[in-house]
Amino acid sequence: MSNSAENAAVATAREFATSVIAPNAEHWERLGRVPYDAFERAGDAGLCGLMVPLAHGGRGLGVGGMAAVMETLSRACMNTAFALVVHNNLAAFIATFGEAAQIERYLDEMIRGRKVGAFLLTEPNAGSDAQAIETVAVPDGDGWRLSGDKAWISNAMSADVLSVYAQTEPGSGAKGIAAFLVDADADGIRQSDPYDLMRGHALGTGAFHFDGCRVTREQMILAPGAAFRGAMAGINTARINVAAMCCGMLRESLRIAVSYAGERQAFGRSTLEFQGLNWLLAEVATDLEAAAALTRDAIRCAERGDDPTLAAAHAKKFATRAAFDGVAECMQAMGAAGYDAAYPLARHLAAAKMAQFLDGTTQIQNVVIARALKTQYADL
């Protein structure tokens, strides 16, 4: 994809963040989801099919292009950006793996933001260990019946289209997991109330209970075995986007803190002139540049076709930590003003903490990195 296409998408994202997200972020937090009309406006702006090929009506961006868009949106609100990450990933998933009938049924409306997507892998007893999911697909004539529980689902409160992962051969682990496309209003599905979280309610996080929900062969998008590999590939992309979004929040927080400190006067001079404060923000700036470099490395790895698992783990681990610590330091540099709701820093701080759990905790990233120690670092 050309730089001009990516630049155009980023410019659109900048305008959308300024005119749509920033004025509404706190309202959506209280509402408990990104509303349908916001998805529709994102669709109208071309932000709901970012990685869908041009031939299917999307923008045709690569991993780097989408990450750049999400970094830009996150400067206003990471919760909204991540809701769009989940939606965009499912749209690209359907464009890549879907049969013609599945593409025809869902893709156009998803690209236009008229149907919202959600990814249903995590369960109450299977978060980081996704191979251990307990939702089952029991054969029923020419199809299956889905039974089980899904938890911590982003976009749960808005979703129309569900990508549901279920075990077709209990005890077989990853090789028995298949993926199905299911309408959220299908019989046999019960949606929970939204989760009551510290912050981040705009993500519309909730749960689904499946009680014999019938699906046909035409609804299977990936067969047993292939589905788990597809899910893991999607998670690597999501981790790269989480890292990019953390860079966006930290970049905006640093901009605000530097601007505020430059104007704030104390003892006859700008507070930015005090070494204790400007060194504090210098440390934040260094961490931002390091996080951005790790994110770019993961993007390059993915876009040249290499396995990005390790690079994505490094990027997500460091960027989420840098954002959480750095946003807090930016707030500190602003004094009590940093806690003022007129600024987005408190929202960014809570989102940065949430980012340490999304798509694999910091500890899971350490597991990935530790597995590579002998192969990647033993002969340095």
Q: Residue 286 sits in which domain range?
A: 228-377
| CATH number of the domain where residue 69 is located | 1.10.540.10
Q: What is the pLDDT of residue 199?
A: 87
Same domain, 87 and 143: no
Same domain, 238 and 292: yes
User: In the listed set 166, 193, 224, which residue is the last one of a domain according to the structure?
Assistant: 224
Give the whole-angstrom CA distance, residue 64 versus residue 83: 18
Q: Check pLDDT > 70 for residue 92.
A: yes
Same domain, 98 and 178: no
pLDDT band at 55 (very low <50, low <70, confident <90, very high): very high
Q: Check pLDDT > 60 for residue 1.
A: no
What average pLDDT does range 8-35 have in this prediction?
A: 95
Give the whole-angstrom CA distance, residue 21 versus residue 12: 12
Percent above pLDDT 70 for the chain:
99
Same domain, 220 and 158: yes
Three-state SS for 98?
coil
Q: Check pLDDT > 70 for residue 380.
A: no
Same domain, 212 and 233: no
Contacts of 123-127 with C-beta under 8 Å, sequence gap 24+, read: 123/148, 123/149, 123/150, 123/151, 124/149, 124/151, 124/207, 127/151, 127/152
Q: What is the pLDDT of residue 2?
A: 66
Same domain, 250 and 373: yes
Q: What is the pLDDT of residue 378?
A: 79
Measured in degrees and rounded to the nearest 5, phi and psi for residue 242 equal: -60, -45
The string of DSSP letters for 271-325 reads GGGSHHHHHHHHHHHHHHHHHHHHHHHHHHHHHTTS--HHHHHHHHHHHHHHHHH
Give the whole-angstrom CA distance, residue 292 versus residue 30: 31
| CATH number of the domain where residue 139 is located | 2.40.110.10
Same domain, 140 and 214: yes
Burial class (CB in 10 A: 0-12, 13-18, 19+), 101: exposed
Q: What is the pLDDT of residue 128?
A: 80
Torsion of CA 208, 213, 218, 219, to 10 degrees: 0
What average pLDDT does range 103-108 have in this prediction?
A: 97
Q: Check pLDDT > 60 for residue 318.
A: yes
Q: Check pLDDT > 90 for residue 113.
A: yes
Q: What is the pLDDT of residue 130?
A: 85
Helix and strand element counts for the chain (H, E)? 12, 10
Measured in degrees and rounded to the nearest 5, phi and psi for residue 348 equal: -65, -35
User: In the listed set 167, 195, 224, which residue is the last one of a domain according to the structure?
Assistant: 224
* pLDDT one-digit tens code per residue, 199-213: 889 989 999 999 999
Residue type, 178: A
